[in-house]
Structure 1
């Protein structure tokens, strides 16, 4: 009988000891969570910071008064650019625009000095309308410049 009482006493002590440890762990975990919430990790995911956007992009953009606008856009890591355009079926003269792009507020789009805007995506530039919105007409897929390898 003494063995039974001793075994029960040991089990009660072990159970009590085990139940105390998680409370401390929970308190430490709760404290850590509160600290993490108070100091959030900055996200910083934007096209400007997470994509390899520097390079040359090309394509033919839609044109109301010509067969299309052959466009070659070269972006450099220092935010400088050269945009070369040719109005197909017209004079075929090369128009060059050179300067520095500015990045939109959230680092997702670039804005040229003439106001032209492009959404920067993975290996592509998507021409935006004059208000900076994506074009949603039937021709929307034609407003994309693809990055050259």
Structure 2
């Protein structure tokens, strides 16, 4: 009895292991592709009212601070204006298109600066795209005007 059960098990295993895998139908492939292109869940890009004007003074090693103003538009264009306070009062201006990361959370501007897009705020990230920590971390937040 045990010998015949063992033989049947091996025979079943052998026949299923050697069969060709089922090919997905055209419908299945189309559904998989459509699902992959649909964003899963809310992101900063699709759920927040992020277009607007953001301002703040971020820390500076060689000046009193960097007055920063970012205008973000719904078409992803931006204008960044910075002034190095107490050092050079000229306004430095950069324009271009903000590029969203794959998760729809962070943007990168043409000057290479990166920001986490939050509710009515932009949080400046370090050069590796990570949040700045430490006692000055709260100073790397730009607040949305009019909120």
| Normalised TM-score (structure 2) | 0.72
* CA–CA separation in structure 1 for the residues paired with 2:83 and 2:105: 27
* Structure-1 residue corresponding to 2:113: 116
Matches within 5 A, 1:40-79: 43-79=40-76
What stretches of structure 1 of length at least 5 have no aligned partner?
A: 1-38
Q: Distance in 1 between matches of 2:104 and 2:94?
A: 22
Structure 1 residue 145 corresponds to structure 2 residue 109 = no
- Gaps of at least 5 residues in structure 2 are 1-34
Q: Note closer, same or farther for the CA distance 1:95–1:46 as it changes in structure 2 (3 Å cut).
A: same
Q: Of Structure 1 and Structure 2, which has the larger fraction of its residues in helix?
A: 1
Residue deviations 1:43-65 (CA, integer Å, cap 9, x gap): 33100000000000000000000
Larger Rg: 1
1:106 CA drift (Å): 0.2
- Report deviation, 1:42: 5.7
- For 1:20-74, what per-residue CA distance to the aligned partner results, in whole angstroms no more than 9, with x for missing partners? xxxxxxxxxxxxxxxxxxx9x9633100000000000000000000000000100
TM-score, structure 1 normalization: 0.71
How many corresponding residue pairs?
110
> What's the RMSD between the two structures over aligned residues?
1.4
Partner Cα distance (1:118, 1:105) in 2: 14
Matched, 1:98 2:67: no
